[in-house]
Amino acid sequence: MSGGCPYFEKKHLLFKSKLLLNEEEADESQKGINKASKGGIIYGDYLQLDKVVTAQVLQSELKGNKIHDEHLFIVTHQAYELWFKQILWELDSVREIFISGHVRDERNMLKVNTRIHRIVMIFRLLVDQFSVLETMTALDFYDFREYLSPASGFQSLQFRLLENKIGVPDNLRVPYNRRHYRDNFKGHESEMLLSSEKEPCLLKLVEKWLERTPGLEGDGFNFWKKLEANIFEGLCLEKKKIAKMPDSEEKEEMMEELTKQKELFTSLFDIKRHEHLLSKGERRISYKALQGALMIYFYREEPRFQVPFQLLSNLMDIDTLMTKWRYNHVCMVHRMIGSKAGTGGSSGYHYLRSTVSDRYKVFVDLFNLATFLIPRHWVPKLDPNEHTFLFTAEYCDSSYCSSEDSD
Amino acid sequence: MSGGCPYFEKKHLLFKSKLLLNEEEADESQKGINKASKGGIIYGDYLQLDKVVTAQVLQSELKGNKIHDEHLFIVTHQAYELWFKQILWELDSVREIFISGHVRDERNMLKVNTRIHRIVMIFRLLVDQFSVLETMTALDFYDFREYLSPASGFQSLQFRLLENKIGVPDNLRVPYNRRHYRDNFKGHESEMLLSSEKEPCLLKLVEKWLERTPGLEGDGFNFWKKLEANIFEGLCLEKKKIAKMPDSEEKEEMMEELTKQKELFTSLFDIKRHEHLLSKGERRISYKALQGALMIYFYREEPRFQVPFQLLSNLMDIDTLMTKWRYNHVCMVHRMIGSKAGTGGSSGYHYLRSTVSDRYKVFVDLFNLATFLIPRHWVPKLDPNEHTFLFTAEYCDSSYCSSEDSD
Amino acid sequence: MSGGCPYFEKKHLLFKSKLLLNEEEADESQKGINKASKGGIIYGDYLQLDKVVTAQVLQSELKGNKIHDEHLFIVTHQAYELWFKQILWELDSVREIFISGHVRDERNMLKVNTRIHRIVMIFRLLVDQFSVLETMTALDFYDFREYLSPASGFQSLQFRLLENKIGVPDNLRVPYNRRHYRDNFKGHESEMLLSSEKEPCLLKLVEKWLERTPGLEGDGFNFWKKLEANIFEGLCLEKKKIAKMPDSEEKEEMMEELTKQKELFTSLFDIKRHEHLLSKGERRISYKALQGALMIYFYREEPRFQVPFQLLSNLMDIDTLMTKWRYNHVCMVHRMIGSKAGTGGSSGYHYLRSTVSDRYKVFVDLFNLATFLIPRHWVPKLDPNEHTFLFTAEYCDSSYCSSEDSD
Amino acid sequence: MSGGCPYFEKKHLLFKSKLLLNEEEADESQKGINKASKGGIIYGDYLQLDKVVTAQVLQSELKGNKIHDEHLFIVTHQAYELWFKQILWELDSVREIFISGHVRDERNMLKVNTRIHRIVMIFRLLVDQFSVLETMTALDFYDFREYLSPASGFQSLQFRLLENKIGVPDNLRVPYNRRHYRDNFKGHESEMLLSSEKEPCLLKLVEKWLERTPGLEGDGFNFWKKLEANIFEGLCLEKKKIAKMPDSEEKEEMMEELTKQKELFTSLFDIKRHEHLLSKGERRISYKALQGALMIYFYREEPRFQVPFQLLSNLMDIDTLMTKWRYNHVCMVHRMIGSKAGTGGSSGYHYLRSTVSDRYKVFVDLFNLATFLIPRHWVPKLDPNEHTFLFTAEYCDSSYCSSEDSD
């Protein structure tokens, strides 16, 4: 954008603090010495480039042995941190919409979904970004890595904040050398982390929102009860059909499979089992929220659920991309420092590998629900004339304006 | 890399200013308060994150109307500028190797080629990076673009330096609203630009290097003379073959085509025509350099030419990616501000479109040489027993150490 | 997916034509000879790999001079054609939803938008795919390009169908060597192209849909009239504000700019001017459709407009990516055959460059509307209590089932 | 390329089987009915599109329930198989160069490296290609997955060939449900796999090549002995330096670390340990080959080692990208069918996860060598005047022509 970005320049525009300039005149205004005098701002100042592009100090140079590739190392990490900042910016704004209750006004769903999607696009870039650092070989890295001690990526405040705010739970983190991740941070930073653990994370906010999914009401459409009835009726019909088949190995297999299916779905409707899985960290959201998610899956084409369905997809994308990022990171580390297999001590490489795990997938329930899909004709029917609630969105009068303001 | 980068952490390493720590101890050293006391550096300080991730000040917020998406706009441009800095870093180091004559020591070719290839990889990322900013719509942009005036991407010092150092010639630049690009800069920056125009650019350095291609020597292999002879002999044989065909429309066509081919190659060996094309800017490198490039093309598999051939390919990649970057930029501008067609005044959109042009392809000759390819059996034969110069690389005793030092 | 795709295998699933197998048993069923006897299908047969991966016949080999890289050339083009087939598949399904009127049932908007977005993702891949063919140099290509004559990418039926079905108008195509594009095709293919020109293209279908945008009704919300009133009132207030300023160069400039703004917006509300631009091909959709698009832009956060707004963005993405594809193509051609500058005759390179043009942007109006953005407070207010139509989606009873069936 | 590929069309070229056509005439030749009569080939026939784009038969449609998204599923897998074919093409050609001994002629190194790099670029595309299939949701997939049984990606012949030819060893494969991978294939295909296991794989060929690295000769430069001497001398000096320090915790730590370093390097020079690691599959190449690789690492800038060093990097890239491909596959499977946690039976998901392992990294030694890097001044010195062998490439007279022919 930067190099010759005229839409950037276009801004001189119409309603510039009531300073109406046309294009030629805007250009005029850039001429010579009196540019600043017109009160505008110039590119380098706007972007604070005096800070950003002067922040590359090579430790190797300071220590009298300037190594060319350290510059790449610094710039790459700074670029990661810049984008982490942007992700936090989006994440905080979305969390704010949920926390303030503005999400009840469904006009805000576009905003929520767009910003979550933007995080997806940033992570996609971050995954690709490894290809640049990979132009540095292990040997190039070796030449300066000694100077960096004891600095460590574990000390990236923003990445830890990001994990916390999305919802990586403290108790599922893989410990590194028996130390708590927060011990890498001191004073102010440690407090920021602690407070980010206490604030409602995206996972918890989405959970609350899913619990309010229209159609779950026991005195209304009562999706969950209807679904249970349909599934077991379907399985029963299936059983009868199989029973009528002449005896054969195939028939036996089908019967066995049917039994397994029944067990599977019985477990789905068993709240005790849900609580058990929750306690083990194998499920992360409430039973009600799980129902909401499944409802959105099955009725995703209903007008009110179209954007919510996109949102659930985007949340899975974030999870997937974060683990891909972790995995790409592992691959790079393997190339840079080897596996140190046999040298004893849990290595950084092996630690990192262990974080490429479903434990770090925050929205793991949204993936695992794929286990409980059913044929379309088992899904409880919605009559659009009767069940108009899926056609009519809600808004929130009072909060609307404030929502606008807050943004 | 940042979030949990253990190879980064690995650094506690072996030979750390003679401070030998093992892994566990290095981790020990991170504990608590006395981390700094051991004289090391921590992640955030190393990367100067206090400068980099605090440099996002929204003009819209300063003016009392905070617009969420301005943050993305700032971060994206800062990321571009960070990478421009890295490109300049690589470019300057490569230019230094050429200028100092270290390129004569062929051990330095790997370094040159690797760094040029790194620039390629960065540009590839920069082209992809548009996908993030494209999550902002024209309407989102409209909300804050007024506050940016008169800041403009035209004011990106680093991008202009980069163009100059690669070799975009001043006289081929498309003027924007009849103003010289340097007028967008004042004082110190304007001087930096002027001096970058005067320093040898990559194009000129590559030209000098190509002129020294082994095999061009008139009193040696004399590639150019041999090539000329072979081509015209080949065309002559072709003509005889066609002449023997029975008369037909096809024969006539083939004869006409042959005539055109002859004209084409006659022009290649006409130094006057070369000078003419040079003067018009349609060619950019000397006649001798052109010969060197074609020689490298034809004998690319010879040991000494393998890396040089890769280098020429990478230079074309840079050109291509820069124009793709420009074109992606054009596309984004079209979406953000429209074409303003019909409103009068050369718009930024139309200006930018005009820079997506072969005028801005610095290494255009390397592309255009594809016009002069010939069948393999027309290429002058090299006898590996006789022409050993393509098997034996040169080194430069005295310069070698200094090269090591300089890096 | 292919190499070890177990979800592919998972399918042995529950309800497999009433053949219920469990996982282990499914695996059992793959054992040995009796696999087929169970009536299933195996991977290679399913994908017809006997056709797909045997379709690589090198012309160079047929002519006795096998050139290694021709294989890459063939595979790359086949991959392009495979994806073109998929794009046509999505395009036809979306067009069918529009043509049949099922789009009136807003439950189908998710499907429409998802499929259009899938086309976007495919084009993104196709743009990236050039990086593989770019591993072939001009010299490698030269070795076999003679054997391909007179085959030409101009003869890609699917690409032309795709252009026609999206909406590249015949009269805006750049002619190539004074010939109509359809002349490259004979018999059946030529008829398919002709008929694709006559069928309603995506552009025309979207146009009709935009014309029905709720809120445009003259006897209802009457967006267009309200908008006109607001804009001119806004400009008038602006003028008064400027008039009160003390005389200065700045004031004069602002007045001039204001005048231009007024002219700009006057032109927007001038239907005659619209008809004129239509006739020149500078606009492509009806006046009513233009109004609908602008309405969706301004009220994109209203529940009924969220997905339509995404759809408009995705349509622009398609346009942008198609031109990026064309541009990447141009870059590759330049590298492969040079520009042939000076040899006379309009070259393929120059022809292709000319197609990277706004003439080939089908949804150019959606981009150009960015010229007519206004401050948020100028947008006519919608009272959610009064204007409930933006909160309540429509469905289409009768068509619903058939829609399900048709898909 | 396909859609309007004029360089494709350019082919009508110069020396087309002695058929010289110019551009206009070539176009003439495309006119009307007599196109074929001129003996050329047209685009669709050349690419055998009648086979490739007609090979999409939906099982769901055959079974009377056409599901739109199955088309995407088929096309995606076909695209994967097309590219697998191309990878095999490159792989076989490279293996042939090694097997035939043509690699001894160092003129062939460019070809080898370029083709290996092309495989890298294809894998990069294949990793990205998941983004297209990811536009299909678990629910879309559910609608047709039943029809695919018992087809399975495990049955991809080409992928297994590819693994074997690169060098995934049979005994390190993770078994799936206690069955040998070859049991998924019958007759001819099973034989092809068996024979691919017996042919020399890329790993073994590279191993042989590394063993011949110039400089390893015991009666020559004797790199390994010199290296051992230097390292232990270096460690010894280090120890003396530390010993002179005043007693402190730091001193103790440094001493401990030094001891570990000594152990590490002692293990490197212990051939028995190497044999042990080989037997466990933790190392894969011979001791001599390991030495060759390390020599290339340390002297990568020497002219003869520049391209070999690139080759080693590219081989690591292939490994990395194959595991990334596997991991992306795992992520997609998780989304498509869930983890089936709790349903019993080793699921496809869990199986796939287990293949994202260093067991499947063929060139794992090249990564792990990063553990044995040393300071530059410990690397045995090469005097360019004395050790000219690193400046002078070899060629192979007799084989050269045949190499040319064979390609």
Amino acid identity for residue B25 in this structure = E
Residues 6+ apart with CB under 8 A from D355: C4, D174, D326
Task: State the Cα–Cα distance between residues B303 and D389, nearest whole angstrom.
Answer: 13
Q: Using an 8 Å CB-CB cutoff, list chain B residues near A76.
A: 1
Give me the DSSP letters along C96-154.
HHHHTTGGGSGGGHHHHHHHHHHHHHHHHHHHHTHHHHTTS-HHHHHHHHGGGTT--GG
Q: Using an 8 Å CB-CB cutoff, list chain C residues near A255.
A: 20
Query: What is the predicted ipTM?
Result: 0.89
Greatest Cα-to-Cα distance within chain A, rounded to the nearest angstrom: 95
Looking at residues B74-103, what average pLDDT do you find?
Answer: 97
* Partner-chain contact B261 D106, CB within 8 Å: no
Top pLDDT among B319 and C31 is at: B319
Distance from CA of B402 to the nearest CA of C (A): 36
Tokens of D285: 């190449």
Q: Using an 8 Å CB-CB cutoff, list chain A residues near C261.
A: 14, 20
Confidence bin at A41 (pLDDT 50/70/90)? confident
Q: Sign of torsion, CA A367 A373 A379 A385?
A: positive
Looking at residues C355-371, what average pLDDT do you find?
Answer: 91
Query: What's residue A394's pLDDT?
Result: 87
Distance from CA of A319 to the nearest CA of B (A): 15
Asked whether the predicted pLDDT for residue D6 surpasses 60, the reply is no
Q: What CA–CA distances, in Å, run from D221 to B393, D225, D265, D384? A: 19, 9, 21, 12
Q: What CA–CA distances, in Å, run from C47 to C7, C41, D74, D135? A: 16, 10, 6, 20
Give D167's Cβ-side CA count (13 Å radius). 22
Residues 6+ apart with CB under 8 A from D112: D94, D97, D98, D103, D311
Which backbone phi and psi does D103 adopt, to 5 degrees?
A: -65, -20
DSSP C200: P
Q: Using an 8 Å CB-CB cutoff, list chain B residues near D306.
A: 109-110, 113, 306-307
Q: Using an 8 Å CB-CB cutoff, list chain B residues near A175.
A: none
Chain D, 360-379: which have a CB under 8 Å from a chain B CB?
375
Per the CB < 8 A criterion, the answer to whether A90 and A119 are in contact is yes
Looking at residues B214-222, what average pLDDT do you find?
Answer: 95
Is the CB of residue D132 less than 8 Å away from at least one CB of chain C? yes
Crossing angle of helices C70-99 and C109-128, rounded to 10°: 160
Asked whether the predicted pLDDT for residue A138 surpasses 90, the reply is yes
Crossing angle of helices C70-99 and C202-211, rounded to 10°: 30
pLDDT for D242-290, tens place per residue? Answer: 999 999 998 999 999 999 999 999 999 999 999 999 999 999 999 999 9
Task: State the Cα–Cα distance between residues D229 and B355, nearest whole angstrom.
Answer: 59
Alpha-helix runs per DSSP H in D167-270? 187-198, 202-211, 223-243, 249-268
Task: State the Cα–Cα distance between residues D318 and D361, nearest whole angstrom.
Answer: 9
Query: What's residue C170's pLDDT?
Result: 87
Phi-psi region of B183 (alpha: psi -120 to 50; beta: other; left: phi over 0): alpha
Task: State the Cα–Cα distance between residues C355 and C327, nearest whole angstrom.
Answer: 9
Task: State the Cα–Cα distance between residues D252 and D271, nearest whole angstrom.
Answer: 31
Query: What's residue A363's pLDDT?
Result: 97
Tokens of D108: 């062939």
Looking at residues D168-189, what average pLDDT do you find?
Answer: 85
> CA torsion angle for C86, C87, C89, C94 (degrees, to 10)?
150
Task: Please give the share of chain B, as a percent, with pLDDT higher than 70.
Answer: 86
pLDDT for B91-105, tens place per residue? Answer: 999 999 999 999 899
Chain D, 235-294: which have a CB under 8 Å from a chain B CB?
238, 241-242, 250, 253-258, 260-261
Q: Which of D266, D78, D281 is nearest to D168 (CA)?
A: D281
Per the CB < 8 A criterion, the answer to whether C77 and C57 are in contact is no
Give B151's Cβ-side CA count (13 Å radius). 21
Task: Please give the share of chain D, as a percent, with pLDDT higher than 70.
Answer: 86
* Partner-chain contact B14 D257, CB within 8 Å: yes
Top pLDDT among B395 and D365 is at: D365
A135-139, C2-6, C358-362, range with the lowest pLDDT: C2-6
β-bridge mates for residue A181, sequence order? none
Is the CB of residue B180 less than 8 Å away from at least one CB of chain A? no
Looking at residues B76-102, what average pLDDT do you find?
Answer: 97
pLDDT for A190-209, tens place per residue? Answer: 999 999 999 999 999 999 99
Confidence bin at C230 (pLDDT 50/70/90)? very high
Tokens of B159: 């991008």
Q: What CA–CA distances, in Å, run from D348 to A9, A357, D156, D394? A: 54, 16, 15, 50
pLDDT for B134-150, tens place per residue? Answer: 999 999 999 999 898 77
Asked whether the predicted pLDDT for residue B206 surpasses 50, the reply is yes
Amino acid identity for residue B193 in this structure = L
Query: What's residue C175's pLDDT?
Result: 78
Q: Sign of torsion, CA D365 D366 D367 D369?
A: positive
Q: How many CB atoms lie within 10 A of CB A392?
A: 15
Confidence bin at C40 (pLDDT 50/70/90)? confident
In chain B, the residue whose alpha carbon lies closest to the alpha carbon of C264 is B343
Distance from CA of D104 to the nearest CA of A (A): 26
Asked whether the predicted pLDDT for residue B29 surpasses 50, the reply is no
* Partner-chain contact A110 C397, CB within 8 Å: no
H or E segment and range at residue A325? helix A303-337
Amino acid identity for residue C204 in this structure = K
Asked whether the predicted pLDDT for residue B304 surpasses 60, the reply is yes
Q: Using an 8 Å CB-CB cutoff, list chain B residues near C335.
A: 316, 320, 367, 370
Task: State the Cα–Cα distance between residues D35 and A252, nearest whole angstrom.
Answer: 63
* Partner-chain contact D3 C160, CB within 8 Å: yes
Confidence bin at C35 (pLDDT 50/70/90)? very low
Phi-psi region of B396 (alpha: psi -120 to 50; beta: other; left: phi over 0): beta
Distance from CA of C363 to the nearest CA of A (A): 20
Per the CB < 8 A criterion, the answer to whether D369 and D171 are in contact is no
Task: State the Cα–Cα distance between residues D3 and C325, nearest whole angstrom.
Answer: 10
Query: What's residue B16's pLDDT?
Result: 33
In chain B, the residue whose alpha carbon lies closest to the alpha carbon of D253 is B21
Per the CB < 8 A criterion, the answer to whether C205 and C363 are in contact is no
Looking at residues C256-278, what average pLDDT do you find?
Answer: 95
Looking at residues D320-324, what average pLDDT do you find?
Answer: 95
Looking at residues B192-207, what average pLDDT do you find?
Answer: 97
Asked whether the predicted pLDDT for residue D403 surpasses 80, the reply is no
Residues 6+ apart with CB under 8 A from D259: none
Q: Sign of torsion, CA B65 B66 B69 B75?
A: positive
Asked whether the predicted pLDDT for residue B365 surpasses 50, the reply is yes
Q: Using an 8 Å CB-CB cutoff, list chain C residues near D75.
A: 82-83, 85-86, 89
Q: How many CB atoms lie within 10 A of CB B162?
A: 20
Task: State the Cα–Cα distance between residues B169 and C394, nearest whole angstrom.
Answer: 60
Query: What's residue A6's pLDDT?
Result: 43
Asked whether the predicted pLDDT for residue D317 surpasses 70, the reply is yes
Asked whether the predicted pLDDT for residue D205 surpasses 60, the reply is yes
Per the CB < 8 A criterion, the answer to whether C352 and C330 are in contact is yes
Counting every residue written for chain A, the total comes to 407
Asked whether the predicted pLDDT for residue A8 surpasses 50, the reply is no
Confidence bin at A352 (pLDDT 50/70/90)? confident
Greatest Cα-to-Cα distance within chain B, rounded to the nearest angstrom: 95
Per the CB < 8 A criterion, the answer to whether D89 and C53 are in contact is no
Test mutation, C24, C97, C107, chain A, max A CBs within 10 A: C107
Which backbone phi and psi does A392 adopt, to 5 degrees?
A: -120, 115
In chain D, the residue whose alpha carbon lies closest to the alpha carbon of C122 is D132
Q: What CA–CA distances, in Å, run from B251 to B248, D15, D21? A: 5, 14, 10
Q: To which residue do tokens 């629910």 refer?
A: D139
Q: How many CB atoms lie within 10 A of CB D388?
A: 13
Task: State the Cα–Cα distance between residues C25 and D406, nearest whole angstrom.
Answer: 49
Confidence bin at D68 (pLDDT 50/70/90)? very high
Query: What's residue D272's pLDDT?
Result: 96
Distance from CA of D252 to the nearest CA of C (A): 52
Query: What's residue C29's pLDDT?
Result: 31
Counting every residue written for chain B, the total comes to 407
Test mutation, D31, D33, D52, D182, chain C, max C CBs within 10 A: D52
Looking at residues D362-377, what average pLDDT do you find?
Answer: 95
Query: What's residue A347's pLDDT?
Result: 62
Looking at residues C79-99, what average pLDDT do you find?
Answer: 98
Per the CB < 8 A criterion, the answer to whether C6 and C43 are in contact is no
Per the CB < 8 A criterion, the answer to whether C172 and C281 are in contact is yes
Chain D, 301-320: which have a CB under 8 Å from a chain B CB?
301-304, 306-307, 309
> CA torsion angle for A85, A91, A96, A98 (degrees, to 10)?
180
Give D45's Cβ-side CA count (13 Å radius). 11
Q: What is the 3-state secondary structure (H, E, C) of B344-406?
A: CCCCHHHHHHHHCCHHHCCCHHHHHHHHHCCCHHHCCCCCCCCCHHHCECCCCHHHHHHHHHH
Cis peptide before D384 (omega within 30 of 0): no
Q: Using an 8 Å CB-CB cutoff, list chain B residues near C377.
A: none
Is the CB of residue A358 less than 8 Å away from at least one CB of chain C? no
Mean pLDDT for chain C?
Answer: 86
Q: How many CB atoms lie within 10 A of CB D272?
A: 8
Task: State the Cα–Cα distance between residues C399 and D120, nearest whole angstrom.
Answer: 50
Asked whether the predicted pLDDT for residue D323 surpasses 50, the reply is yes
Please give the model's pTM, rounded to 2 decimal places. Answer: 0.91
Q: How many CB atoms lie within 10 A of CB A15?
A: 17
Cα A227 to chain centroid distance, Å, stands at: 30
Asked whether the predicted pLDDT for residue A183 surpasses 60, the reply is yes
